[in-house]
Amino acid sequence: MDNIFADEEQVISTAEDLISANQFASDVDKRHYQALLKSYKNLLKHTKRIVKMSDIIQLESRNLSNKLQIASQTDALTGLYNRRFFNEVYPMEWKNSFRASTSLGLLMIDVDYFKKYNDTYGHLQGDDCLIAIAAQIKKAVKRPRDVASRFGGEEFIVLMPDTDYRGAKVIARRIMARVDSLVIEHSASAVSDRVTVSVGIACIIPDEGNSMVDHLNMVDTALYDAKGSRNCFRTYSPPESSVK
Amino acid sequence: MNNLIIEKTHSTPGIVFDTETGVLEIKGESFPENVPKFYGPVIEWIKDFLNSTDKEIVFNFEISYFNSSSSKILMNIFDYLEQQVSEGKNISVIWRCDHENESAVECGYEFKEDLDLLPFVVEIY
């Protein structure tokens, strides 16, 4: 057997033979054609069945592929986007902002004294704390193009196209207020009796003279500044030596 | 007549056809690169065996995933078995599938729908 459609081809070949034999004695013809018709109907039934089964399997593959795509973009613990998704979206938004000469905003959020929180309340409660904070970040970030992701550990990052420092500060305040309103007890914190966050803010209009790495370093520096005091936000300010 | 035993691979099912017991098992996934090449000898073996015996034969199919070419071959096999039953042979088919494998379950019922004489049971575990 070298062809899975050998039966179909045999039917066609028989039909061709019959026609070229040019013997159309009525009763014989009738039986021949009835037999051919029966065979071909059965083979056609096969073909239809194959198509139907392929459709079933393709639909399942499609659904599975959608689920995988969502899973590959989502942080399993918090349900926010994950860092991989951020890494996909950030370059696209960078290019968009570059073309439109608009300000691209980043917020980097870190949970204050989170290691101490874990040490005090245990890792399971630490996970619950991250889940609760992530939910508040998600609620605070409302525009469809804004992307809130878990950056790693207790760090979150929010990407906000078309956002300058004024707008970014509004979101930072909103996140801090929402986290504060959770009133999650944190007896080991040096700045509050409840869980708080520090937020770094960096906004930039992408151009030939800057890069995504610069932008990420800026927001990292701003977060570092905020963590000097904790439970606050800080905008990026260039180091003294680079101020012209 | 010798038993037919083919080891399972990542793209072809394992086959254990035991002439003593009359139980013929095909188990695994089926998406061979060359479907006729894989199934050709299997079908030949089935034909030879059925020609040589009148004992009760049970086919156990447990194929969790198969491509379109394999489904065509399976239908050819079922048609052949149906014809054998019409000629008086005692043959039945059990299509086994995991309850979580909805495609395999649905396809089992698709195969069953075309068969009038061949006993075909979809067994979900």
Q: What is the dihedral of CA A9, A14, A20, A24, to 10 degrees?
A: -140
CA of A14 vs chain B CAs: smallest distance (Å): 19
Q: Which residue of B has its CA nearest to A58?
A: B103
Are A226 and A234 in contact, with CB atoms under 8 Å apart? yes
Residue A47: inside a domain: yes
DSSP chain A: ---TTHHHHHHHHHHHHHHHHT---HHHHHHHHHHHHHHHHHHHHHHHHHHHHHHHHHHHHHHHHHHHHHHHHB-TTT-SB-HHHHHHHHHHHHHHHHHHT--EEEEEEEETTHHHHHHHH-HHHHHHHHHHHHHHHHHH--STT-EEEEEETTEEEEEETT--HHHHHHHHHHHHHHHHHH--B-TT-SS-SB--EEEEEEEE---TT--HHHHHHHHHHHHHHHHHH-SSEEE----GGG--
Report, as an integer, the average pLDDT of A169-176. Answer: 97
Report the range of poorest mean pLDDT among A42-51, A190-199, A204-213, A217-226.
Answer: A42-51
* CA–CA gap between residue A98 and residue A160 (Å, rounded): 14
Complex ipTM more than 0.85, yes or no: no
Contact A160, A168 (CB under 8 A): yes
Same domain, A110 and A194: yes
pLDDT score, position A240:
63
What is the arithmetic mean of pLDDT over B57-76? Answer: 93
Using the 3D structure, point to which of A20, A42, A73 is the last residue of a domain.
A73
Out of A8, A16, A93, A154, the active site residue is A154
Q: Does residue A78 belong to any structural domain of this protein?
A: no
CATH code (residue A210): 3.30.70.270
Looking up residue B84, the CATH number of its domain turns out to be 3.30.750.24
A63 and A88 part of one domain? no
A136: tokens are: 């508040």
User: Residue A136 is part of which domain span?
Assistant: 83-242
Q: Do B103 and A57 touch (CB under 8 A)?
A: yes
Do A28 and A94 fall into the same domain? no
- Band (pLDDT 50/70/90 cuts) for residue B44 is very high
Partners of B43 on chain A (C-beta within 8 Å) are 1
Nearest to B68 among A1, A42, A54 (CB): A54
How many CB atoms sit inside 10 A of residue A119's CB?
12
Q: Which residues touch B94 (CB under 8 Å, ≥6 apart)?
A: B58, B59, B60, B61, B121, B123
Contact flag A7-B107 (C-beta cutoff 8 Å): no
- For residue A37, the model assigns a pLDDT of 81
| Cα separations in angstroms, B78 against A21, A98, A203 | 33, 63, 67
* B22: helix, strand or coil: coil
Question: φ and ψ at A64, to 5 degrees?
Answer: -65, -40
What residue spans of B26-67 are helical by DSSP H?
A: 35-52
Task: Say if residue A186 is in the same domain as residue A204.
Answer: yes
Whose structure tokens read 């795509």? A69
CB pairs under 8 A between A and B: 49
b/e code B46-65 from CB counts within 10 Å (16+ = b): beebbeeeeeebbbbbbbeb
Q: Which residue has the tokens 């156990």?
A: B60
Q: Which residues of B touch A (CB under 8 A)?
A: 35-37, 39-40, 43, 65, 68-69, 71-73, 75-76, 79, 102-103, 106-107, 110-111, 113-114
Range of B54's domain?
4-124
The average pLDDT across A194-202 equals: 97
Chain A nearest-CA distance from B66, in A, is 9
Out of A1, A2, A50, name the one closest to residue B68 (CB).
A50
In this structure, the answer to whether residues A61 and A153 fall within a common structural domain is no
Proportion of chain A above pLDDT 90, given as a percent: 70
Q: Among all residues of chain B, which has the CA nearest to that of A61? A: B103
Rounded CA-CA distance A226/A117 in Å is 19
Reported as a pLDDT band with limits 50, 70 and 90, residue A242 is very low
Quick one: A42 and A142 in the same domain? Answer: no
Give the whole-angstrom CA distance, residue B95 versus residue B107: 10
Q: Which of A49, A52, A54 to mutate to test the interface with B (most CBs of B within 10 A)?
A: A49
Q: A46 in contact with B at a CB cutoff of 8 Å?
A: yes
Q: Are residues A65 and A111 in the same domain?
A: no
**Terminal alpha carbon distance of chain A:** 81
Query: What's the rounded Cα separation, in Å, for the pair B11 and B4?
Result: 18
Each residue of A130-148: pLDDT tens digit? 999 999 999 999 899 999 9
Residues with Cβ < 8 Å from B76, sequence gap 6 or more? A4, A7, A46, B43
CB of A187 closer than 8 Å to CB of A120: yes
Instruction: Report the pLDDT averaged over residues B22-26.
Output: 93
Asked if residue A88 and residue A68 are part of one domain, the reply reads no
Residue A240 falls in the annotated catalytic set: no
Enumerate the residues of chain B whose CB falls inside 8 A of the CB of residue A7: 76
pLDDT, tens digit, for every residue of A52-62? 888 888 888 88
Name the average pLDDT for chain A: 91
CB within 8 Å: A4 and B114 = no
Residue B77 CB: number of other CB atoms within 10 A? 19
A47 and A96 together in one domain = no
Is there a single domain that holds both residue A67 and residue A27? yes
Q: Are residues A218 and A178 in the same domain?
A: yes
Q: What's the token pair of residue A117?
A: 């929180």
Residue type, A214: D
For position A243, what pLDDT does the model report?
41
Q: How many structural domains compose chain B?
A: 1
Query: Which pLDDT belongs to residue A4?
Result: 77
A56/B72 CB distance under 8 A: no
Interface contact flag, B71 A53, Cβ < 8 Å: yes
pLDDT tens sequence across A108-132? 999 999 999 999 999 999 999 999 9
As for how many domains chain A has, the answer is 2
Chain B nearest-CA residue for A51: B68
Mean pLDDT of A98-109: 97
In the predicted model, what is the mean pLDDT of residues A62-84?
95
User: Does residue A241 carry a pLDDT above 70?
Assistant: no
Q: Is there a single domain that holds both residue A90 and residue A140?
A: yes
* Mean pLDDT computed over B60-77: 93
